[in-house]
Every structure is written in structure tokens, then in C-alpha cells.
Amino acid sequence: MEKEHINESILNEEILEDQKKNRIDHMTYLPGMEVLESDILDQVISAMDAYDYDKYTESDVRRALVHDTKTPEDFAALLSPAALPLLEDIAQAARVETRKHFGNSIYMFTPLYIANYCENYCIYCGFNCHNKINRAQLKPDEIEKEMAAIAKTGLQEILILTGESRSKSTVAYIGEACKIARKYFKVIGLEIYPVNSDEYAYLHECGADYVTVFQETYNSDKYETLHLAGHKRIFPYRVNAQERAIRGGMRGVGFGALLGLDDFRKDAFATGYHAYLLQRKYPHAEIAFSCPRLRPIINNDRINPMDVHEPQLLQVVCAYRLFMPFASITVSTRECARVRDHLVNIAATKISAGVSTGIGSHVEDIEEKGDDQFEISDGRSVDEVYQALLENDLQPVMSDYIYV
């Protein structure tokens, strides 16, 4: 664990003992995991390995900026250190693309955490199975109460989240949550553990149509050192989750590297290229990006996003926008109000509001409440974010989707 900014402090004797048997081969599928005939993973990894961002010059970046349609090579240049001094030009260009494709529309949603049980041991995450926090799982009637309360704020899009415990939060349980959500919301997204394509098909039938899977990092060696136990440890199964979701009939898929875990330029490049390849293979699939940076968690407030400062974050967001002008880009409450308000004015198109990353936080009468996944930086209500958008001459949009 060479990176002190993450979390070796909770690697105690008991965990080290546990690791002897649970630190399984992260490249070998576990029983029951669907294996896709797909070369996307190999293509992404070889392109990422070949990506030498130091070789790009200012003129490469300028050339990339003038291309109408950005190639993967242009994307690589826009993510390089040589692009940073041109950040103003890049942001201007990104803003033009955003307005062309989305006008002044900004989509609003909120995440709903329905369970924080987790079988994984991801050392940077507050939900990890060794972290001593209050665990909880909402019952169907509690999910309904929470959703009713959220719907009252005017939102029409919900993102259902669970910790990654297949045994606690089963596919059937998540499916029930989707069915309840159908009563209150027009758009239902999922951010759950990766499943097989037939399970995605089932969840789609229950009402979900968007699946986001954070790859965290595309560097498999690094990935292995951060995800020490659980099914999440299986690197290729996670990388191929979006493709399984599309094959299962989901309308859109979201991608995200957790910036700051590893070399963020390589991770951002791999994320964009992964989305690019999938969109070429499945042209109907809608593409979304999230751009999370590391945040402090309960029992470890030293976690920080290292070298991904605000300019670098903006660079990544703009590079995604210019490479895939039609993609949805979300800025989460990991970022503060100031940063989010500026990002939606440049390249982001989706913003959450009224957010809590804990369990049972939207109504009072929930039996057992669960602790947060991470500390948020923007605690504004739906109404506050709505007003902020209007003041920014942006048009809040609650739904742009119809379930058919």
C-alpha cells in the first residue's frame, strides 16, 4: 500500500489474516459470473498502456481543438499535461459543444441509498466490509416512504444505490425497489454491484433503464491492491458490466473512474475510450460519464484526491465533453456548490440535489438508519439547486425520458 492518502490504517492484524485466504486472483471469474465474448477490455487496456501523455505538445492540443469530430488521439492530447495551459480555450470549446447538443438544459436527479451492506473490501470506501459503521437496509415500505418524500420535492429521476452485497441486497430486492420507483419517478437509474445480462434484463423489466458502474481504476495491478476482497475484486467482470447491461436491454450506461486512485490521466483516457468503443459497437446506447474524485470517509478523513486539483478535474470533464459531445456528464456532491455550478455552465449536463449518501435519510420514521458512504460537499436542497440553475440562465429539466 504505497499511497498513504488512501487507507492502510485499517489494515489491522485480523484483516491481514483474512487476506491470506480472500486475496484471490483478481483476473479469474468466479462461478456464476457471465463471460462475454468481447474484445473491448483488451482494446481499452492496450490503448491505455500505450497512452504516453508526456509526448503531446501544445500544437497537438491546438490541432485537436480545431477538429470537428475528436478522434481518440485528439482525446489523448486534450487529457495531456500540455493541454493544461490551454484550459480556458478548452473550456470555451466544451461550452460550445454542450450548448449545441443540450442547449441550456440541465437534468436533475437524486441518489437514493437503500442499503449499505457490502461484501467488498475497497480500502478507500466508507461502505467496505471491514469499516465499522452502522449498517442498514430499507424494507419495501421504507423505500416507498423515502421515494414519496423525494418525489414531493419535484424530482422525476432517481438513482437507486446499494452497497455491493449480493446476498443482502439481492437482484430480486433491487427489482422490487425499481417497481416501487416506477410509481413515483419517470427515470430510474441503478448503481449497484455488476450483474449478468439476464439479471440486467430482469431489472430493466422492473423499470430501470440506466446502469452506472464505476470502474474506479483501469490499471488492473493497482485495482488489485485497492479491492482486497469480494466479487468486486474480479477486474474483468467489472469492466464488462456496461456491455452486459446494454445486452440486457438497458438504454444507457454510465462510466466513471474514481479520479485520484491511480494515474488520473490514464484512467480518464481509458474511461472515455471504453465508452467510445461501446458506443461504436452499440450505436443506440446512451453514454454517460461521472467524474468523481476521492473523498474522505468515516474513520479515515485523510483520503484525498492527490494530484487531481480543480483544474485537472475541469480538464477531464471538458475532454469527455469534446470527445463525446452527446454524452451526459454528471457532477456529484463530492464537489462543492461553487465547482458544480461552474461545471454545469461549461460541460456537465446533470446534477444531483437534496443528496444524502446514508440509508434512510429522507424521512424521520425509518427504523434503522445507516451511515454515509462518503462526506458530501454540496448539501443543497432540490429547490436551492433549481434556483441556482435558473440564476445561471440554465433550464432545469426533471425528465427527458419515457419508459417503453
Q: Which lies closer to other proteins via its Cβ, residue 243 or residue 286?
A: 286
Residue 130 contacts other proteins per CB under 8 A: no
Q: Which lies closer to other proteins via its Cβ, residue 16 or residue 403?
A: 403
Residue 397 contacts other proteins per CB under 8 A: yes
Helix (H) or strand (E) holding 278: helix 264-281
Of 83, 76, 69, nearest in space to 273 by CA? 76
Q: Which stretch binds other proteins (CB under 8 A): 3-11, 36-44, 160-168, 278-286?
A: 278-286
Among 31, 132, 284, 391, binds other proteins (CB under 8 A): 284
Least distance in angstroms from the C-beta of 100 to other proteins: 5
Residue 220 contacts other proteins per CB under 8 A: no
Q: Which stretch binds other proteins (CB under 8 A): 4-12, 101-109, 263-271, 301-309?
A: 101-109
Residue 249 contacts other proteins per CB under 8 A: no
Residue 85: CB atoms within 10 A of its CB come to 11
DSSP structure string for 8-22? GGG--HHHHHHHHHH
Q: Which lies closer to other proteins via its Cβ, residue 189 or residue 360?
A: 189
Least distance in angstroms from the C-beta of 215 to other proteins: 20
What is the rounded distance in angstroms from the CA atom of residue 341 to the CA atom of residue 144?
A: 31
Least distance in angstroms from the C-beta of 399 to other proteins: 4
Site string for other proteins, 132-151 (x = CB under 8 A): --------------------
Q: Which lies closer to other proteins via its Cβ, residue 100 or residue 302?
A: 100
Cell, residue 67: 477538429
DSSP structure string for 57-72? -HHHHHHHHH-SS--H
Cell, residue 9: 490504517
Residue 286 contacts other proteins per CB under 8 A: yes
What is the rounded distance in angstroms from the CA atom of residue 212 to the CA atom of residue 305?
A: 21
Any idea what the Cα angle at residue 317 is, between residues 339 and 191, rounded to 5°? Answer: 90
Cell, residue 96: 460550445
Residue numbers 367-386 binding other proteins by CB under 8 A: 382, 386
Q: Which lies closer to other proteins via its Cβ, residue 219 or residue 242?
A: 242
Residue 398 contacts other proteins per CB under 8 A: yes
Least distance in angstroms from the C-beta of 156 to other proteins: 5
Residue numbers 177-196 binding other proteins by CB under 8 A: 186
Q: Which stretch binds other proteins (CB under 8 A): 21-29, 211-219, 335-343, 395-403?
A: 395-403
The answer to whether 343 and 317 are in contact (CB under 8 A) is yes
List Cβ neighbours of 269 (8 Å cut-off, separation of 6 or more).
47, 48, 51, 53, 75, 76, 79
Q: Which stretch binds other proteins (CB under 8 A): 189-197, 266-274, 340-348, 391-399?
A: 391-399
| 3 state SS of 190 | strand
Residue 246 contacts other proteins per CB under 8 A: no
Residue 105 contacts other proteins per CB under 8 A: yes
The answer to whether 199 and 244 are in contact (CB under 8 A) is no
Residue 392 contacts other proteins per CB under 8 A: no
Strands 286-290 and 328-331, how do they pair? Answer: parallel
Q: Which lies closer to other proteins via its Cβ, residue 76 or residue 246?
A: 246
Q: Which stretch binds other proteins (CB under 8 A): 102-110, 119-127, 212-220, 369-377?
A: 102-110
Cell, residue 202: 430482469
Q: Positive or negative, the Cα torsion across 349, 403, 198, 119?
A: positive
| Residue 181: CA count within 13 A, CB half-sphere | 31
Site string for other proteins, 300-339 (x = CB under 8 A): ------------------------x-x-------------
Q: Which lies closer to other proteins via its Cβ, residue 185 or residue 235?
A: 185
**Could you tell me which residues are beta bridge partners of residue 188?**
158
**Could you tell me which residues are beta bridge partners of residue 210?**
189, 252
Say how many Å lie between the first and final Cα of the chain, rounded.
Answer: 48
Q: Which stretch binds other proteins (CB under 8 A): 53-61, 94-102, 136-144, 218-226?
A: 94-102
What is the rounded distance in angstroms from the CA atom of residue 157 to the CA atom of residue 128?
A: 27
| 3 state SS of 45 | helix
Residue 212 contacts other proteins per CB under 8 A: no
Query: Where does this chain bind other proteins (CB under 8 A)?
Result: 99-105, 154-156, 186, 251-252, 279, 283-287, 324, 326, 382, 386, 395-402, 404
